[in-house]
Structure 1
Amino acid sequence: MLNVILGNLVACPDVVLWGIDLKGGMELRPWAPCLARLATTPDEAAHLLADAVAVLDARAEASSHGNTRVWEPTPAAPALVIVIDEYAELADTAPDAVPYAESIARRGRAVAVDLLVATQRPTQKAMGGGALRSQMSVRVCLRVRERRDVDLILDRGMLAAGWHAHTLDAPGKFYVLADGHNQPRRARAYLFTDDHVHATVTRFASQRPDLDALSQAATAPRTQAIKPPSEPSYEDPEAALSMALSQAPDDGLTVPELIHLTGMGRTWVYARLQSLATAGQARQVTRGHWRA
């Protein structure tokens, strides 16, 4: 289900995606070429969410001065969607990050800073005692093992109202609760395989938008200058790429820098980065910046 949603989001020219996957990037790393940032540790997750709140605050202040109540996403001023795979893991291992997530859930919609949260353990503790869950205006519920989980995910009284997610009888079947979807109607998601992910990433990785200048400036204090680690070596582009990534600074190297260091073209560099990311040998630390 998450891959289906991501497959649609990466095709949007007015959406920037950040990701948090505290299972070492196991679920989101295949999407890394389409993610402007990917956090795989508790510290990275906390910094990423803090930056998202900074973007939110900057946009809110700009909107107030411009007398506009809603940020309308465009390719030049895209929405920011933070994808969190297994939110329960974030709550357990990065409790300092939770208030940032709750702030985004409360205040982010008007300025197009949104959360996409997935979890297999929707307990009261994992969801912050309901503080985050209560702000979720769109909820998708796949099959649950226990009847009581229906009310926990969708809201109190939904089980009695006919939302019987515990009876869903096949992979990919779900209910969606949102404006305009107030009656229990079963649906089923497409099966989105690893091959589909690879093909989608290959198609859209080079077309992803950047954040607008205002939003980039809001996170600028966290950005460090990036310097190439060595002089270019064209004899073995594969080895040159591996060395550059392994010696890259914390904020990574840009694709133009990797092109310079390997002597290869943009298509070759993107293809190799995608292959290395899939193998867990490279990661995109921020939009367009890579390291091992």
Structure 2
Amino acid sequence: MHGLMVKQRRKLHRVQVEKAPRLGLIRPTPQGFIVTARLHDGQTPDDYEDVLEKLAHAWRVHGVRLVSWKPGRVTLSATLVDPLEMAAGLEVAAEGLLRVRVGLLDDGNPFVIDFRTVPHWLNVGATQSGKSNLANALIVGLSPQPVALVGFDLKGGVEFTPYQARLSALATERHECAGLLAELVAVIKSRMELCRQHRVKNIWHPRLPEGARPIPIVVLVDEMAELFLMADPDNEKEEVAAVATRLLRIAQLGRAFGIYLFVCGQRVGSDLGKGVTALRAQLTGRICHMVNDDETAKMCLGDMDRHAVAAARQIPPDRPGTAVVIGSDSRWHRARSAHVLEEEAEAAAEAYAHRAPSWQSLTAPFAGDAEQAAELDESEIEEFTEPDLEDLPV
């Protein structure tokens, strides 16, 4: 017994967290290099997360990221230059149905918003941070696709009115939003009935006939806080509750039935009410540009990664379009969206105005959806759907 205790004591004395990393083979990448480090006894991946900036200075590189880990080792990626500098001149491109390349990530990979993989997104940022520019990029990327776009613009319509030609519906006042959200909930119920009739779990199931498959709907919401603010609680409480409940139902049920959310706001905090916190839990895609307060950064990223919050608060004002993003891999990245002028987004909306289905056809019973789908050019549908249909959730 005494010998066993002595052996264990030696192990305890061997544990030291602050030790130089034991590095493996350095593998080059287009932007720098990747290297694996073995953890010493007592170390965890968080110990490396906390000293990434120190490593970047010590290795004389632009930045270091922890990209993955296994028991006993971590993989680090170093970039020699900042890939985000090249994002401003990048061209926005559709890369499949409901999938848009909008910029670059800090590891040099494309910054992609993919509603099939991550159905709902929260996009926050202060004025001139690039938040609206990202919405413009989405308009450009989604306009040529066989999808419907619906706008909620609580700035009186100044954000989305220029793109109204491509929108199937637009609400600019809260009472209009409440009505439009009620109609979207009715669309979900209609599509539920369609799926029950064909014994499928969602509209992307292979057993659902192409002619009956309803058109996907992307809902763009600007200034989310205006949906929840109350100047007169006695008179507005019921309307705000209705909006919050309907928006939450869409977030919870929409994915299976082809309805996706992209929610924007300058400031998002728990002081707006429980509805905002409940909605945030359903918006698994997070994009945080430069913000003016800690609460908004924490509300956007804090429930996922504390390091992401710190990175978001370090975004300088002179880097518009730069954001911290958490997407399909559940890890945070710095990203920068391509610069898209309002005139470019407006031109795309006008050029593809014929792709906007009427709101009446979208809200009709599911038989009407099948009729609308039949009117679309089959080759255009295949262009976006055929390569990725097998990857869709079933």
* TM-score, normalization by structure 1: 0.67
SS in 2 for 1:164: helix
CA contact (8 A) 1:22 1:40 kept: yes
Q: Is residue 276 of structure 2 the alignment partner of residue 144 of structure 1? A: no
1:5-28 Cα shifts (integer Å, max 9, x gaps): 122122211x11111112210101
Runs of 4+ in structure 1 displaced over 6 angstroms? 73-76
State the shift of 1:207 in Å. Answer: 2.6
SS in 1 for 2:293: coil
What aligned pairs does 1:252-271 form with structure 2 within 5 A after superposition? Answer: none
State the shift of 1:146 in Å. Answer: 3.4
Consecutive unaligned residues of structure 1, counting only runs of 5 or more, are 221-292
SS in 1 for 2:263: strand
Counterpart CA distance in 1 for 2:362 and 2:163 is 26
Among candidates 141, 144, 150, match of residue 11 of structure 1:
144
Among candidates 337, 340, 344, match of residue 192 of structure 1:
340
Name the Cα RMSD after superposition. 2.5
Return 34-43 or 144-153, whichever deviates more.
144-153
Return 95-104 or 195-204, whichever deviates more.
195-204
Q: Is residue 256 of structure 2 the alignment partner of residue 123 of structure 1? A: no
* TM-score, normalization by structure 2: 0.51
More strand by share: 2
Counterpart CA distance in 1 for 2:308 and 2:181 is 36
State the shift of 1:177 in Å. Answer: 1.0
Give the direction of change, closer, same or farther, for the CA distance of 1:21–1:161 in structure 2 (3 Å limit): closer
Among candidates 173, 179, 190, match of residue 328 of structure 2:
179
Indicate the structure (1 or 2) with the bigger Cα radius of gyration: 2
State the shift of 1:133 in Å. Answer: 0.3
Give the direction of change, closer, same or farther, for the CA distance of 1:217–1:190 in structure 2 (3 Å limit): same
What aligned pairs does 1:1-292 form with structure 2 within 5 A after superposition? Answer: 1-13=134-146, 15-72=147-204, 77-92=214-229, 94-95=239-240, 96-126=242-272, 128-156=275-303, 158-160=305-307, 164-169=311-316, 170-180=319-329, 182-210=330-358, 215-217=363-365
Equivalent AA in structure 2 for residue 132 of structure 1:
L
CA contact (8 A) 1:147 1:164 kept: no
Aligned residues: 217
State the shift of 1:215 in Å. Answer: 4.0
Equivalent AA in structure 1 for residue 313 of structure 2:
H
CA contact (8 A) 1:17 1:82 kept: yes
1:84-140 Cα shifts (integer Å, max 9, x gaps): 111110112650312100100111111111221101111113362411000012111
Aligned residues with identical type, % of pairs: 29
Counterpart CA distance in 2 for 1:64 and 1:125 is 40
Counterpart CA distance in 1 for 2:215 and 2:263 is 19
Consecutive unaligned residues of structure 2, counting only runs of 5 or more, are 1-133, 231-238, 369-394
CA contact (8 A) 2:181 2:243 kept: yes
